[in-house]
Amino acid sequence: MNRKKILVTGGAGFIGSHLCERLLNEGNEVICLDNYFTGSKDNIIHLMNNPYFEVVRHDVVHPFHIDVDEIYNLACPASPVHYQYNAIKTIKTSVMGAINMLGLAKRLKAKVLQASTSEVYGDPNVHPQPESYWGNVNPIGIRSCYDEGKRCAETLFVDYHRQNGVRAKLVRIFNTYGPHMNPNDGRVVSNFIVQALKGEDITIYGDGNQTRSFQYVDDLVEAMIRMMATEDSFIGPVNTGNPGEFTMLELATLVLELTGSKSKLVFQPLPSDDPRQRKPDITLAKEKLGWEPKIQLREGLITTIKYFDEVLKK
């Protein structure tokens, strides 16, 4: 059997753990690299008995050598509370992590996929955002360590491809949710669910009319795997997200309904640089990957609520 060796950096995180599981299920050998800054062994413990799964504690800021066919580079804290905790480290992780993984891919002639983000569009003036939009990003704000770190990583991916022929791939991930999200990471889906399950007030920033689109993690993993399988000449970037658009008020109401919670909605000021609306244009993903999201918000929330309910009972 043609078993590929695949490195997943950030493999013990929310998205990484789902990706590791899916790649193992497809019969690959998976090496999960993580420094456990935001990830957890609990996210991958169910994979530990698989002899084709290996875990390495390592920081992507430092070079790492291993012989693999493909690299998925996910290592980076993704929620504002975590990436702002040590902003300089966040930039180092994005930039030096990208350089280290690109260097490895260059030597091995391996494919390397970068988990980029819709944050590269900043607070967009174009709606929905196609890949051709250059973004509206504050270079010196409190979100810049993440947004600009990810933008620089994209530049590196494209330059390593242009200059050295590295088999690079870029996916721009829009808001994703699902089991294994960190309950304390301050992201809106996990916040609302945890608050509802605990019967605490549900915190809405601003008036709650700002919109977001929410992609279920299984849809994202499918898009990433399809992107990795595209021909070498196609490097992206490709948006992956669910274009269904919901206001924060709609999300909160749905979470209250599905949890049966009696929590009250409370309103607080918007944090600075918080984008007003964000919605992916997924025309390119449809065309190049034959992909579109399949899991609707209600269905994905039911699975996610079940997961958080179990975690909170532990």
Ligand X SMILES: NC(=O)c1ccc[n+]([C@@H]2O[C@H](COP(=O)([O-])OP(=O)(O)OC[C@H]3O[C@@H](n4cnc5c(N)ncnc54)[C@H](O)[C@@H]3O)[C@@H](O)[C@H]2O)c1
List residues binding ligand X (CB under 6 A). 9-10, 12-16, 34-39, 59-61, 74-78, 93, 115, 117, 173, 175-176, 182
Q: Residue 63: which of 31, 98, 39 has the closest Cα? A: 98
Residue 114 CB, nearest approach to ligand X (Å): 8
Cβ closer to ligand X: 36 or 134?
Answer: 36
Q: Are 212 and 278 in contact (CB under 8 A)?
A: yes
> Scanning the structure block, which residue is given the tokens 């605490």?
200
Cβ closer to ligand X: 85 or 234?
Answer: 85
In sequence order, what are the residues at sequence separation of 6 or more whose Cβ sits closer than 8 angstroms to the Cβ of residue 95? 149, 152, 153, 156
Q: Is 146 a catalytic residue?
A: yes
Residue 176 CB, nearest approach to ligand X (Å): 4
Residue 11 CB, nearest approach to ligand X (Å): 7
Cβ closer to ligand X: 201 or 275?
Answer: 275
Cβ closer to ligand X: 37 or 160?
Answer: 37
Cβ closer to ligand X: 28 or 176?
Answer: 176
Residue 35 CB, nearest approach to ligand X (Å): 4
| HSE, side-chain direction, 13 A CA sphere, residue 250 | 12
Residue 177 CB, nearest approach to ligand X (Å): 7
> Scanning the structure block, which residue is given the tokens 């007030």?
201
CA torsion 16→205→264→245, rounded to 10°? -60
The DSSP line for 140-173 is TSTTHHHHHHHHHHHHHHHHHHHHH--EEEEEEE
Residue 77 CB, nearest approach to ligand X (Å): 5
Q: Are 33 and 56 in contact (CB under 8 A)?
A: yes
Tokens of 65: 């050598």
H/E run at residue 238 = strand 238-240
Tokens of 74: 């996910």
Q: How far, CA to CA in Å, does 144 sit from each of 25, 32, 74, 87?
A: 37, 28, 18, 9
Residue 2, sorted as left (phi over 0), alpha (psi -120 to 50) or beta, turns out to be beta
Please identify which of the residues 146, 160, 177, 216 carries the catalytic annotation.
146
Cβ closer to ligand X: 151 or 161?
Answer: 151
Active site residues: 146
